[in-house]
Structure formats: structure tokens, C-alpha cells
Structure 1
Amino acid sequence: MIDIKVRVHDRFSVEFKIGYLVQKNLKANDFMMNTWIFIPNSLDINSFTYGKTEFYRHAKSNIRYITPIYTLSELRNEEALPFRFLEVAFHELSADHSQENLAETEYQIKMFCSIVKSALRKEADQIIKYTPESDREKAIDLYIEQINDITGKYRKLKDILQDSGLYEEVVTLHSFGDEFLSNLIEFQTYRLLELIKQKDIECYNRIEDRLMLLIRHERKYKKQHQYQTIEKNSPDHNRAVFFRMRLLKKFVESHLFLNAYKKKDGQMAEQVYYSIAAGISMIFATAIAFSFQQKYGNFTMPLFVALVISYMLKDRIKELARFYFVHRLAKKYFDNKTVISIKDTPVGWIKEGVDYITEDRVPDEVMAMRDRSDLLEANNRHTAEKIILYRKLVRINGQVLDENNQYDISGINDILSFNISGFILKMDNPEVPLAVPKKDKGYEIIRGERIYYLNFLIQLRYEDKIDYKRFRLVMSRNGIEGIEKF
């Protein structure tokens, strides 16, 4: 199964979070994703102005585990696996102050914090989207209780290592997780408050004080432990605290990322075909030389002319043969192959390729989903949209993935961030003056927005299942204005 989520990452980037859910008993879980990008002709995007090099420069991919799923209710229970693993790691480090046990404790701290992060986000979404209004207030009270229980248990863990020879190192690691959790609670609680305020103002008025008390408690705790806090009148506009938050996030989530080694796909086949091309050109040149030598003899002017011409044509034949084989290779091979591994153990690979294609090579079902308006269809007869096909083929070894993890890992996420700055170079001004009549008499000038649409049609394949998704990116010269999902 393939799951895909799309969001605007920043002003100039859109993020595709692609989840590949594997069957653990299979060595070869194969997934395919084809993405057709329809680009307005006015942006002047083509193979000359925006080639493969530019495309890959603007596409950044991070490959990581899908975080194990737990609820806050499960995590508050001391028998929950994440807390048990964490507690065992602390006790083992207390008994044996080895670097191996220290590394295991660091791993369990990171894993616990990552799982809590996912659980907090899901709990807030559950309260807003699925909890009936009559039960929402009770759900929020439970949310507060669960957070207090989870953080209380985590913060007591460092007491286990009072006499440890590695006490300072472990306390530092523990404090990183503690600060991350406190920042996380503050962020998600503000988010929950804002969502409730938008959806259920009566509930917001009843629970605001309780949730703000939780936030104030965390802020007080952070100040007591010399953790940085966001301040309204910060001299550096909270630059330092936000920078530290980013570092803590990277620290906590670093264990989720898999090793990735990218190389060109089909290198061996390419060299073989290039050798064949060189051989074909050499056969031609040698045949010309032999035939003229046999007919006119050695050291004659006709032989000299024939050798010069054969040498000239040899290089052209070689290049033509290489050109032919390159296009044959492009149909069979991809541009890049990324080998993904857990430490030194390969767990699979991802192949990707990008090409400009013509409309007649786009499947009918994709063109139907593109759903052009009559006016756009008429314009396309003169200035057709450019179409980029971005292909991905993924293979994951479910057995290796399962054998190398303590937790129940359901698959991997491929987080693809795509920067659109290369598409805005030839856009017109984002604002245009427009005239409208006044109510009484005369007219006035107002400002309108000039936008462009980038359509993404995505085909997802796994086993015999095929699914399609469509997203439309709304852009202007100022960057991304929004994203529409169909």
C-alpha cells in the first residue's frame, strides 16, 4: 500500500510525504509512483531551460522509518513498549556503564520522544475531527492528564542513574529529550487551542484556562531547568530559541532516517552499449580501409582519401550509435538508484527518472483527471502545456526491515521536498490593476492577483492495486499561494 500526503512546506517548496507500507513476510515489496506535472506554456519550462540537472537540484528526498503508532492512553501505561524499552535501557546502563549501553539509551530516548510527538499530534487531531462536541471537554481533560503522566514518568528516569559513572552524559541526553517534549507539548497545545477556537468557540471558552495552565506549567518548568523559552520581547526575535528547537528536532529524529547512497542507474549497461557503439564505428572504418587498400593498393591517393573520410564518419557513427543506445537505455533504466540501508545492512532501493513527454504518451485516464476547461483546451491547440513525467520504482525487503527493529515498523516514508523557484523566473507581476464601477458614478482601480497553476497527477501502484491522486499548486511570482486537493 502507498499513502501520500501533500502540504506547503514554505513559500517556495511543496512537500510530498509518501508512505510505503510493507508486508513483513515479503523480501521484495515493489511500489511504483508515476507523477505527471502539467506546466503552463507561458513559464517557458522545457528540456533546454529546465533540464534533469535543474529538476534534481530542486528535489530533495529524505528516507525514514514510519514512526510506530501509539496513543497517549497507551503511552501513559508503564507496560507500554516504548517506556519499558526506555526503562530497561536506563537500568542496564546503571549496571554496566559501557558505551554500547549508552548508545542504546540514547536510541531509546530518541525513539520515545518521536513516538510521543506522533501521539500528541494524532490526539489533537482526534479531539478536533472525531470527538463529538458533547465529549470534547472531557477529552481535553484526559489529554492534560495523559501528558502529565507521560512527562512525569520520563522525568523520573534520571533518578535511576544517580551513581552512574556516565551520569553527566546520560543527564545531558535525557535533558535533550526532556526539553524537546516540553517544546512539543507547548506547540501542540497552542495548536489545539487554535483549532478549538475556530471550530467550537463555546468549548474554547470553557477549556482555555485549563490548557493555558498546562502551557504555563511547562514554561515554568523550562525556566527552572535553564531551557530556553519563547519570549514576546526577545532582543533577537527568538532567533536563538528557534535555532535550538530545530537542533533538538534533528537530534530526536536522527535515528528514524535510513542511510541512503545515490548512484547513476544502469552504469554497467551504459558502458557495454558505448563499447558496442565504438565497435560498430570501428567495423565501418576498418571495412572502408580494407576495401580501398585491396582495390588501390598501399600508399595511394584514393586510399589516403578513403582513410580520412572513414575517420570522419567513424566518429559520427559512434556518436549516432551512442545517441540511439542512450534513448533505448532511458526506456529501460532510470536516472538514479538510491540504495537504502539500516547501518550496513541493505533494506532496499529507490530508482527515479524524469523526462519531458508529449501528450500522446500520457494515459487516457490521467488526461481525463487533468480535466482541462474548454478555454484551456482551445489554447492548448496553439500553446500546449509542457508535461514532465517523474517516475519512481521502490523495492523494500520487509523481512530485513522487521529483523533490524525492536518496534513494529510498518514501512518507510519518502519525504520529497520540491522547490518551485525555477518555475517563477518568467512569471509576470503578481498584482494587476483592475477597474470596477463605483456605486454612484465613476470607477475605481483595485488590485487583482495573477496566479499560475501547476497540476500534479500521481499514479500509485502496489501489487495489482492502482490509485490516482490529483493536486494543484497555486503559484505567483511571490511563491506558493496554496494547494488544492481533488
Structure 2
Amino acid sequence: MIDIQVKLHDKYSVEMKVGYVVDRNRKENEFRMNTWFFVPHSLGISASTYSKDDFYKDVRSNVRLITPIYSLEEIAEGEWTPFVFLEDAFLHLVEERTKEALETYEYQIKMFTSIFKSALRGKVNEAIHHEVERSERELQVEHYVTCVRVIARRYRELKKIINVTGLPKEAANYFSFGDEYLSNLIEFHTFRLLDGLKEFDPKCYKLEKKRLLELIHGEIGYKQKNGYLVAEKDSKDQNRAVIYRRGILKKYAESDLFLKASKKRDGVLVEQIYYSIAAGLSMIFATVIAFSFQKKYGNFTMPLFVALVVSYMLKDRIKELMRFYFAHRLGKNYFDRKIKVSMGDKVVGQIKDGVDFISENKVPEEIISRRARTDLLAADNRNSSERIILYRKWVQLNAEILDEYGQYDIAGINEIIRFDLGSFARKMDEPAYELYVPEGEADHASIKGEKIYYVNFLIQLQHEGNVEYRRFRLMITRDGIREIQKL
């Protein structure tokens, strides 16, 4: 299965979170994702102005394991929870006091906070967006607060286990990092819950605001007591330090989920073989011409001299034409890059990707149909057609290697892909556009409109014979992306 979430990352970037979920009944799992970008002709984006290298400069991706899924209730109250692994790691460190025990201890803290973050996010989204009766939503908020308090208390009580002499200094540091990150998560997601209730269910917000703010104030007080940084309304320097530290803590806590991805060009050997064949064919042509004229006119004659010059000229042209032909044929079967995805010294799988400008007659009819151009745009497209970029991705994962990852069940990997569309905005007109409207019966006035552009992209997802499609439209101005619409 392939799961995909698309959102705006910043005013010029779109983020795709693609989840490749493996089938445990198959050792090797293959996934394909094809994305067609339909770019307005007026933006001046083409193969001559926007090369493959330009595209890959604008694309950034990270690969990480899918976080093991637990609900807040399972973490707080379940019998077989991350707390079991966490407590075992604490006790093992105290008993063994080895480097390996310390590494396991740190790993379990990181995994616990990552799992807790995922559970918090899911619970908050459920409480905000699910259509339920107000009384049920209030119960969800109450349960949220109860579970969060239980989880925070249980984690902090584990400090008693390592509060012994003789442990390395790093043990206390790792616990402190996890504790501070956990507190940051509680504060952030509780504020998110407050904002969501205020927007979508104001009555529930008024009823539950006090309860949620008490939770936030409790965490802020705890952080101040333990020397953790806290945001302050009127202190820019303090808040810069808070943002910086929170970013470092996030990267640290999630580092064990990120996989090593080593990139290199794909199909290099085959490409060189094809190019050698092209050189050989051009040389055969030149040699045949030289031998033929030498046999007919003899050595050191003017016709032979002319034939050698012409054959040399044609040889280079034939070589380049053959290189172009083979490169075109090669592109259909090979990708631009091959990325080996590793977990330690074990290869989990590989990702290949490739990008090309293509003509509309090479786009599947299903995609053109789903593009659904308006009649006016279809008519205009005959004169100034949209530029079409095809971005191909092929993923192969080994389910057996994923099963070897610690005590947790890992469903697959997430690839976070960010597309920077700043290059697309360079040739856009200024967003401010003047319009005129009548003002009463005897006058008129000018008003300001906004010049926008639409970039459509369609995604085809393939796994085990199943094919799904997603369509999105970006509303962009020269000042950035205004909106992303799922169609």
C-alpha cells in the first residue's frame, strides 16, 4: 500500500509525505509513483531553461522508518507498551553499565518520544476534525488530558532507576533530552488542540479551555523548574534560542528513524556500452567509405582525400545521432539516480527516480482525462500548450530486513519529498493587478486584484497491481504559493 499526504511546507515549497507500507507475505515489495506536472507555458519552464540538474536542486527528500503506531490510551494504560521496552533498557543499563547498554537505553528513549509524538498528533487531529457530538468531543479532550498526564508522570518516574552512582554522565543527559522534548510535544499539541477547538467547535473550546490551559501551565512550570528553555512573549533573543533548541531536540529524538540514503547515477555501465556501440558504428561507416574510395581511385588521390574529409564529418554526426537515439531508448528503461537505503550495515531497499519533459501525446489518456482542462484552456492549449514534466519513482523494499529492526513492528518507510517552486515564479508578473468597477451611476473606481497562476499535478500510485490517482492544484503568485487544492 502507498499512502500519500500533500501539504504546503512554506510559501514556495510543497511537501509530500509518501508512506510505502510493505506486504509481510512478500519478501520483496515494489512500488511505483509517477507524477505529471502541468506547467503554464507563460512561466517559461522548458527542457532548455530547466534542466534535470535544476529539477534535482529544487527537490529534497529524506527517508525514514514509519513510526510504530500506538494510541495514547495504549501508551498510558496498555500492558504491552513502549514503557515495557523503556523500563527494561533503564534496568539493563544499571545492571550492565556497558557501552551497548547505554546505546540501547538512548535508542529506547528516542523511540518512545517519537511514538508519543505520533500518538499525540493523531489524538489531536481526531478530537478536532472528527464529526462527533459535543459531549463526545468533551470526553475526548478529557481523555487526552488524562492520558498525557499519566504518560508524562510514568516517564519522569523512571528517573529514579538511573539515579544511582557510577553511571556515565550521558545517561542523565539522554533522559533530560527526552524529558524536555516530551514536554515540548505536550505544550505544542495542546496549543494545537486549543486552536482547533476554537475554530471548529467554539462551544467545546469555552468548556475545555481551562482544563487544557492548566495542562500547558503545568508543563511550562515543570520546564522552568528543571532549567529547560521556555518561550517568553517579549523576548526575541529567548525565543530564538527556544526555536533553535527545539529544532535540535526534534532532530535528535527522531534520528534513529532516519535511514542512510546513498545516491549515485543509474545505468552508467549500460550507458557507456551503448555509447561505445555508437562510436563503433560511426567508425565502421568511415572505414567502409575510406576503403571503397581507396580501392577505386588508389592512394594519394584527390577523390580519396575528399572522401576521407566527408566521411570524417559524417562519422561525428552519425556518432552523435546514435548517442541521442541510445540515450532516448535508455531513458525509457533506466532512471537518473539510484538511492540505496540502509539501516546500519543492512540494505533495506533502493529508490530510483528520473525526470523528463514529455509531449502531451506521450501522456496516458487516463491522466489527460483527469487533468480536466476547461474548454477555454483546452482551446488556448492548442496555441501555447502547457509544459509537462514527468517525475518517475520506483521503490523496492525488503520486508525481512525491516522485521529485524528491534522489538517494534515497522510497517515500512516514509519518504518526505519537498518541491521548491521558486524557479517557477521568476517569470511571473507582479501579483498586484488593477481592475476597474463602476461606482454609482456617475463614477468609477480602481481596485486591486491578484494575478495568479495554476500548476496542476497528478500522481499515479502503483503497488501489487493496485493503481490509485491523486490530483492537486497549486495557486501561485510571484510572492509564493497561495493555496493547495485537492481535486
TM-score category of the 2 structures, normalised to the smaller one: over 0.9
Q: Which moved more, 1:324-333 or 1:22-31?
A: 22-31
Task: Give the 5 Å matches for 1:204-243.
Answer: 204-236=205-237, 238-243=239-244
What is the one-letter code of the residue matched to 1:476? T
Cα distance, 1:119–1:295 mapped onto 2, change above 3 Å: same
CA distance in structure 1 between the partners assigned to 2:365 and 2:426 by the alignment: 32
- Deviation of 1:141 after TM superposition, in Å, equals 1.6
Residue 30 (structure 1) aligns with: 30
- Deviation of 1:80 after TM superposition, in Å, equals 3.2
- Deviation of 1:66 after TM superposition, in Å, equals 1.0
Residues 298-353 of structure 1: per-residue CA shift (max 9 Å, x gap): 44444444333333332222222111111110111111111111111111111111
Residue 375 (structure 2) aligns with: 374
Residue 125 (structure 1) aligns with: 125
Residue 41 (structure 1) aligns with: 41
- Deviation of 1:62 after TM superposition, in Å, equals 0.8
Residue 396 (structure 1) aligns with: 397
Residue 465 (structure 1) aligns with: 466
CA distance in structure 2 between the partners assigned to 1:6 and 1:209 by the alignment: 34
Residue 70 (structure 1) aligns with: 70
Residue 245 (structure 2) aligns with: 244
Q: Which runs of 5+ in 2 are unaligned?
A: none
Conserved in 2, the CA contact under 8 Å of 1:281 and 1:314?
A: yes
The 3-state SS of whatever aligns with 1:383 is coil
What is the one-letter code of the residue matched to 2:408? Y
Conserved in 1, the CA contact under 8 Å of 2:124 and 2:189?
A: yes
- Deviation of 1:259 after TM superposition, in Å, equals 0.9
CA distance in structure 2 between the partners assigned to 1:63 and 1:164 by the alignment: 39
Cα distance, 1:392–1:235 mapped onto 2, change above 3 Å: closer
Conserved in 2, the CA contact under 8 Å of 1:161 and 1:167?
A: no
- Deviation of 1:61 after TM superposition, in Å, equals 0.9
Residue 485 (structure 1) aligns with: 486
Conserved in 1, the CA contact under 8 Å of 2:336 and 2:352?
A: yes
CA distance in structure 1 between the partners assigned to 2:442 and 2:297 by the alignment: 97
CA distance in structure 2 between the partners assigned to 1:2 and 1:33 by the alignment: 9
Residue 136 (structure 1) aligns with: 137
What is the one-letter code of the residue matched to 1:41? H
CA distance in structure 2 between the partners assigned to 1:460 and 1:145 by the alignment: 40
Residue 443 (structure 1) aligns with: 444
Residue 93 (structure 1) aligns with: 93
Conserved in 2, the CA contact under 8 Å of 1:292 and 1:303?
A: yes
Q: Is 1:51–2:65 an aligned residue pair?
A: no
CA distance in structure 1 between the partners assigned to 2:289 and 2:381 by the alignment: 50
- Deviation of 1:193 after TM superposition, in Å, equals 0.5
CA distance in structure 2 between the partners assigned to 1:405 and 1:54 by the alignment: 39
Residues 358-399 of structure 1: per-residue CA shift (max 9 Å, x gap): 111111221111111111111111111111111111111111
- Deviation of 1:167 after TM superposition, in Å, equals 4.0
- Deviation of 1:438 after TM superposition, in Å, equals 2.4
Over aligned residue pairs, what C-alpha RMSD do you find? 1.5
CA distance in structure 2 between the partners assigned to 1:440 and 1:150 by the alignment: 68
Residues 214-244 of structure 1: per-residue CA shift (max 9 Å, x gap): 1011001111111111110014271111011
Residue 194 (structure 2) aligns with: 193
Cα distance, 1:308–1:381 mapped onto 2, change above 3 Å: closer
How many correspondences in the alignment? 486
- Deviation of 1:164 after TM superposition, in Å, equals 4.8
Residue 287 (structure 1) aligns with: 288
The two structures have a TM-score, normalised by structure 2, of: 0.97
Residue 431 (structure 2) aligns with: 430
Residues 434-477 of structure 1: per-residue CA shift (max 9 Å, x gap): 12222464222221111111101111111121111100011000
- Deviation of 1:285 after TM superposition, in Å, equals 2.3
Conserved in 1, the CA contact under 8 Å of 2:260 and 2:342?
A: yes
Residue 364 (structure 2) aligns with: 363
Residue 102 (structure 2) aligns with: 102
Conserved in 2, the CA contact under 8 Å of 1:78 and 1:84?
A: no
Conserved in 2, the CA contact under 8 Å of 1:334 and 1:353?
A: yes
- Deviation of 1:126 after TM superposition, in Å, equals 1.5
Cα distance, 1:351–1:308 mapped onto 2, change above 3 Å: same
Identity over aligned residues, as a percent? 54
Conserved in 2, the CA contact under 8 Å of 1:24 and 1:401?
A: no
- Deviation of 1:403 after TM superposition, in Å, equals 2.1
Conserved in 1, the CA contact under 8 Å of 2:74 and 2:81?
A: no
What is the one-letter code of the residue matched to 1:31? F
Q: Which moved more, 1:366-375 or 1:187-196?
A: 366-375
- Deviation of 1:104 after TM superposition, in Å, equals 1.1
Q: Which runs of 5+ in 1 are unaligned?
A: none
The 3-state SS of whatever aligns with 2:79 is coil
Q: Which moved more, 1:345-354 or 1:161-170?
A: 161-170
Task: Give the 5 Å matches for 1:409-424.
Answer: 409-424=410-425
What is the one-letter code of the residue matched to 2:190? T
Residues 222-279 of structure 1: per-residue CA shift (max 9 Å, x gap): 1111111111001427111101111111111111111111111111110111111121
The 3-state SS of whatever aligns with 1:347 is strand
The 3-state SS of whatever aligns with 1:307 is helix
Q: Is 1:278–2:279 an aligned residue pair?
A: yes
Q: Which moved more, 1:63-72 or 1:276-285?
A: 276-285
Q: Which moved more, 1:313-322 or 1:68-77?
A: 313-322
Residue 145 (structure 1) aligns with: 146
Conserved in 1, the CA contact under 8 Å of 2:13 and 2:418?
A: yes
Cα distance, 1:26–1:38 mapped onto 2, change above 3 Å: same
CA distance in structure 2 between the partners assigned to 1:445 and 1:237 by the alignment: 45
The 3-state SS of whatever aligns with 2:77 is coil
CA distance in structure 2 between the partners assigned to 1:251 and 1:141 by the alignment: 31
The 3-state SS of whatever aligns with 1:306 is helix
Conserved in 2, the CA contact under 8 Å of 1:68 and 1:410?
A: yes
Residue 19 (structure 2) aligns with: 19
Q: Which moved more, 1:239-248 or 1:158-167?
A: 158-167
CA distance in structure 2 between the partners assigned to 1:440 and 1:201 by the alignment: 43
Q: Which moved more, 1:429-438 or 1:310-319?
A: 310-319
The two structures have a TM-score, normalised by structure 1, of: 0.97
- Deviation of 1:281 after TM superposition, in Å, equals 1.7
CA distance in structure 2 between the partners assigned to 1:322 and 1:164 by the alignment: 70
What is the one-letter code of the residue matched to 2:75? L
CA distance in structure 2 between the partners assigned to 1:360 and 1:205 by the alignment: 57
CA distance in structure 2 between the partners assigned to 1:256 and 1:116 by the alignment: 14
Conserved in 2, the CA contact under 8 Å of 1:22 and 1:29?
A: yes
- Deviation of 1:85 after TM superposition, in Å, equals 1.0
Residues 395-434 of structure 1: per-residue CA shift (max 9 Å, x gap): 1111111123421111111111000000000000111121
